[in-house]
Amino acid sequence: MDAIETVITDLEITYEPTNIYYQTIHSVLDAAELIELPRRLKLILAQPKNELIVHFPVRMDNGSFSLFKGYRVQHNNILGSYKGGIRYHHDVSLDHIKALAAIMTMKCALVQLPFGGAKGGVKVDPHAHTHSELTALTRRFTSALGTNIGPAYDIPAPDVGTNAQIMAWMADTYMNVHEPHERLDGGSVVTGKPLAFGGCHGREKATGQGVVFVIEDLIPEMGFRLDQVTFSLVGYGNVGSWTGRLLAERGATLRAVMDHTGAIGHARGIDAEKLADHVLQTGGVADFPDADPISERDFYRTDVDLFIPAALEQMIDIEQAQLLNCKILVEAGNTPCTPAAEIYLNNHDLPIFPAILCNAGGVTVSYFEWKQNRQAEVWDLADVDAQLKKMMSRTTARVKARARSLNCSMHQAAYCEALDHIRQVYELRGIFP
């Protein structure tokens, strides 16, 4: 049995190669091997510190009650308060949230933010509920989380299916159910709030903006010019649409897009702004008048420089990977490729810009928001963008240098960078008592 398998066996993690938690921990342990992380740290990082599951009833508009299941997993807080989004999706499960919490630990450590990693979610289809039902659900979930979240302990944020309005309800609920002396600071219990209620300029576009900064830094030396590249996107939600619009603004051509409603393509380019309006009005990319409907197979086979998955996890399996006709894969969503797809693409020398680097812009601007809330400051958009650019470029340069020194993939290099920082802090702090 190799070193990775012994950790997995010791912690009684289910050995199931298609399970996302197993896959995530395998990636972490694989990088841990490369930098010879001590076994005690491997054991600590291979499991979350806390896993909370809550069940709560919510009154529906018709007077009936529905019961919901919510999660908050706190993976690690050696670097600071737990941090990570809240997802509303019908497919969330404990293992899924555990994997995403571990990824948050890696992402925050990679950028060297003073945060640990967490993730939460409610098993619900937010589109199937009215505004008032979502308000009640969010308030009841927040109160069920109780003191498990807090501005100096665990700080949620938006994720798939949640947005600034939901963060506002969370913050308001937290401020109302806690002691008066905690209320003043209470707003910073969540980030990604609306601008008028303690939010940060540029937070909505932050993840897409971070993706674009990484592309901007890495492609010139690979022989590409940003104003001439072509790209395709999987997903046109927050991350996909902002990545699309910001790349188009810099002259890049969006050739194809796919989401849950269908796939569209246009050789001369799709107007990213108009498509964002269409998605806002109709809920998806299907039937966009200024592009042609294409099959899923043709979407993956579209000839582009950058293929950018910005949707749910594990969308690209070996079957999709074999169809790709791109020069670079940019992981804008969390773990969009299965390990099998990644091995296949590595074997075919396709460069992959790793997710924990590419999509770290969101949590980085969340950090700026939290900092502004705590210091009673308001930064303007130019300051936010400049700070984000600085942090993303610094991090990208470290990942590149590490990949070179270890002669490994950028994906492994990003995990090694994150783990090395965590190791350093564990060595300084020691293990209590």
Catalytically active residues are: 119
Closest CB to ligand GLU among 324 and 418? 418
- Confirm or reject binding of residue 331 to ligand GLU (CB under 6 A): no
Residue 85 near ligand GLU by CB under 6 A: yes
Among 20, 31, 54, 157, binds ligand GLU (CB under 6 A): 157
Q: Which of 27, 74, 138, 191 binds ligand GLU (CB under 6 A)?
A: 191
Q: Which stretch binds ligand GLU (CB under 6 A): 49-57, 230-238, 357-365, 388-396?
A: 357-365
**Among candidate residues 215, 227, 208, 212, the one with its CA nearest the CA of residue 351:** 215
Q: Which of 24, 366, 395, 412 binds ligand GLU (CB under 6 A)?
A: 366
Give the nearest distance from C-beta 213 to ligand GLU in angstroms. Answer: 15
Contact of 58 with 137, CB cutoff 8 Å: yes
> 6 or 50, CB closer to ligand GLU?
50
Distances (CA, A) of 68 to 138, 140, 173: 11, 10, 18
The reply to whether 256 sits near ligand GLU by the rule CB under 6 A is no
Mark the segment that binds ligand GLU (CB under 6 A) among 29-37, 269-277, 360-368, 395-403.
Answer: 360-368
Per 3-state DSSP, what percentage of the chain is helix, strand, and coil (rounded to 5)?
50, 15, 30
d(CA 61, CA 94): 28
Minimum gap (Å) between residue 221 Cβ and ligand GLU: 27
Query: Which of 8, 96, 121, 159: binder of ligand GLU (CB under 6 A)?
Result: 159
Q: Residue 264: helix, strand or coil by DSSP?
A: strand
Q: Can you tell me which of 84, 186, 187, 265 binds ligand GLU, judged by CB under 6 A?
A: 84
Long-range contacts, 321-329 (Cβ 8 Å, 24+): 321/345, 323/297, 324/300, 324/350, 325/300, 325/301, 326/232, 326/350, 327/222, 327/224, 327/351, 328/219, 328/222, 328/224, 328/352, 328/353, 329/353
Return the number of the residue (101 or 321) whose C-beta is nearest ligand GLU. 101
Residues 6+ positions from 211 with CB-CB distance below 8 Å = 239, 243, 308, 310, 330, 332, 358, 359, 361
Check residue 208 for interaction with ligand GLU (CB under 6 A).
Answer: no
Q: In whole angstroms, how close is the CB of 334 to ligand GLU at the nearest point?
A: 6
- Structure tokens, 317: 């399996």
* Residue with smaller CB distance to ligand GLU, 110 or 256: 110
CB of 104 to ligand GLU, least distance (A): 6
Q: What angle is formed at CA 341 by the lines to CA 124 and CA 120, rounded to 5 degrees? A: 25
87 alpha-carbon distance from chain centroid: 10
The minimum distance between CB 181 and ligand GLU, in angstroms, equals: 25
Helix/strand/coil for 73: strand
372 binds ligand GLU (CB under 6 A): no
Between 265 and 362, CB nearer to ligand GLU: 362
Residue 83 as a binder of ligand GLU (CB under 6 A): the answer is yes
Would you say 232 or 366 has its CB closer to ligand GLU? Answer: 366
Of 83-91, 141-149, 337-345, 384-392, which segment contacts ligand GLU by CB under 6 A? 83-91
| Phi, psi of 306, rounded to the nearest 5 degrees | -115, 125
Helix axes 361-375, 94-111, angle to 10 degrees: 70
Comparing CB distances to ligand GLU, the nearer of 244 and 362 is 362
Distance CA 133, CA 242 (A): 28
Structural tokens at position 182: 């905690």
Distance CA 161, CA 118 (A): 17
Query: Closest approach of Cβ 363 to ligand GLU, in Å?
Result: 4
Range in contact with ligand GLU (rule: CB under 6 A) among 48-56, 77-85, 290-298, 301-309: 77-85
Q: Name the segment binding ligand GLU (CB under 6 A); options: 1-9, 145-153, 358-366, 406-414.
A: 358-366
362 touches ligand GLU (CB under 6 A): yes
Note the helical H segments in 196-338: 206-218, 238-249, 272-282, 296-301, 318-321
Query: How many residues belong to the site for ligand GLU (CB under 6 A)?
Result: 12
Cβ pair 170, 159 in contact under 8 A: no
Residue nearest to ligand GLU (CB): 85
- The letter for the amino acid at 121 is G
- Helices marked H in 250-380: 272-282, 296-301, 318-321, 339-347, 355-358, 361-375
Which residue's CB is nearer to ligand GLU, number 95 or number 271?
95
Residues that bind ligand GLU (CB under 6 A): 83-85, 157, 159, 191-192, 334, 359, 362-363, 366
